[in-house]
């Protein structure tokens, strides 16, 4: 898993694509760097006449900026992780699997590996999920990302703005990133509102270029805030119902109960703690505190499933193309 991606990066085309995927991150970083100059230099240092007010503005501004950038960086740099080796089928068995001339043979091969694995998710026809690209049995809530070229644990979606998959290991960071980005934009908008009004009245002090920096800072902060408020609200909702973006569009299928969007819903507080942990002191910090291992998850109807491990009575078959699609097509993927 990941070897094909490594080989692609060695080619000139693969290297160019790897660089191209960082463009959105560079763009966001450049906007933040410009906003820092416009706010700190043009608004506070060159335009403020109240020293105490300027210090307070800069103090709260830097707190919001540090939390924002810290969360953003953790979201970008956190690895998608890897599926443990016991979920991988050896190459010789994969060859037998693909050469099998009937579903029953395929079923026996897969069951010999999946019977001891804690999988409760199924396909629409009740079979165990198998990734032919990574050659693994997929853990619950895991999906194959064509951009990352690997199976991602508790995959939410692939986000080009962080050049990473939002997954089990960085989902808390991603939600905090959205929240702090919204706070940052709202803080900048509210603290530049007075100067924006003064600009339209023609009473704003400073040079012509500096005044336009403040004007654009207000507009851009409002524009980003409008975009972020709906996205942040949506992911807070997903946290509270214990659902990923993929699962919100295509309900996960369980061995007991069939398709159920609320299959992982344990109650709002328990759902929140599954992502943010149970120590409130760490909730606002981009420090990993999520519960679990990313492989198995408590489910709402677990008590109804007397066999949480895969048995030989399951209907198993190969899924060749499941979830092997890029983000732009994930609505049509099959979890």
pLDDT for 9: 53
* 185 flagged as catalytic: no
Q: What angle do CA 321, 237, 268 make, to 5 degrees?
A: 105
pLDDT for 31: 97
- Per-residue model confidence as pLDDT tens digits over 191-221: 999 887 877 766 666 566 777 888 899 999 9
Residues 38 and 213 sit within 8 Å (Cβ to Cβ): yes
Candidate list 159, 165, 185, 324, residue with the active-site label: 159
Name the pTM for this structure.
Answer: 0.84
pLDDT for 93: 80
Angle formed by the axes of helices 268-276 and 171-201, nearest 10°: 90
What tokens were used for 191? 């603290």
For 52, half-sphere exposure in the C-beta direction (CA atoms, 13 angstrom radius) is 0
User: How confident is residue 16, by pLDDT bands cut at 50, 70 and 90?
Assistant: confident
Residues 157 and 178 sit within 8 Å (Cβ to Cβ): no
- Per-residue model confidence as pLDDT tens digits over 261-289: 999 999 999 999 999 999 999 999 999 99
- The closest of 245, 216, 211 to 231, measured between CA atoms, is 245
């Amino acid at each position: 898993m990941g070897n094909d991606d490594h080989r692609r990066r060695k080619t000139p085309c693969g290297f160019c694509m790897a660089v191209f995927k960082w463009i959105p991150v560079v763009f966001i970083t450049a906007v933040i760097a410009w906003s820092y100059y416009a706010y700190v230099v043009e608004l506070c240092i060159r335009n403020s006449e109240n020293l105490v007010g300027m210090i307070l503005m800069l103090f709260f501004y830097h707190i919001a900026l540090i939390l924002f950038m810290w969360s953003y960086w953790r979201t970008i740099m956190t690895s998608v992780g890897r599926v443990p080796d016991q979920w991988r089928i050896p190459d010789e068995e994969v060859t037998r699997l693909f050469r099998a001339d009937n579903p029953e043979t395929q079923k026996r091969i897969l069951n010999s590996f999946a019977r001891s694995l804690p999988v409760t998710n199924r396909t629409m026809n009740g079979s165990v999920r198998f990734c032919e690209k990574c050659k693994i049995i997929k853990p619950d809530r895991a999906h194959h990302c064509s951009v990352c070229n690997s199976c991602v644990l508790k995959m939410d979606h692939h986000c080009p703005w962080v050049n990473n998959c939002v997954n089990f290991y960085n989902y808390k960071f991603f939600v905090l990133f959205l929240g702090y980005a919204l706070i940052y934009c709202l803080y900048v908008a509210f603290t530049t509102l007075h100067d924006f009004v003064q600009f339209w009245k023609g009473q704003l002090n400073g040079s012509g270029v500096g005044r336009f920096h403040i004007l654009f800072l207000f507009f851009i902060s409002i524009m980003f805030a409008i975009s972020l408020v709906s996205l942040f609200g949506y992911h807070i909702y997903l946290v509270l119902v214990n659902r990923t973006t993929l699962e919100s569009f295509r309900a996960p299928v369980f061995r007991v109960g069939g398709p159920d969007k609320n299959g992982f819903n344990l109650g709002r507080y328990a759902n929140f703690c599954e992502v943010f942990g149970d120590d409130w002191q760490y909730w606002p910090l981009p420090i990993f505190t999520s519960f679990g291992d990313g492989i198995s998850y408590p489910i709402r109807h677990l008590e109804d499933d007397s066999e949480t491990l895969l048995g030989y009575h399951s209907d198993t078959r190969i899924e060749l193309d499941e979830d092997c699609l890029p983000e732009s097509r994930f609505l049509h993927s099959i979890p």
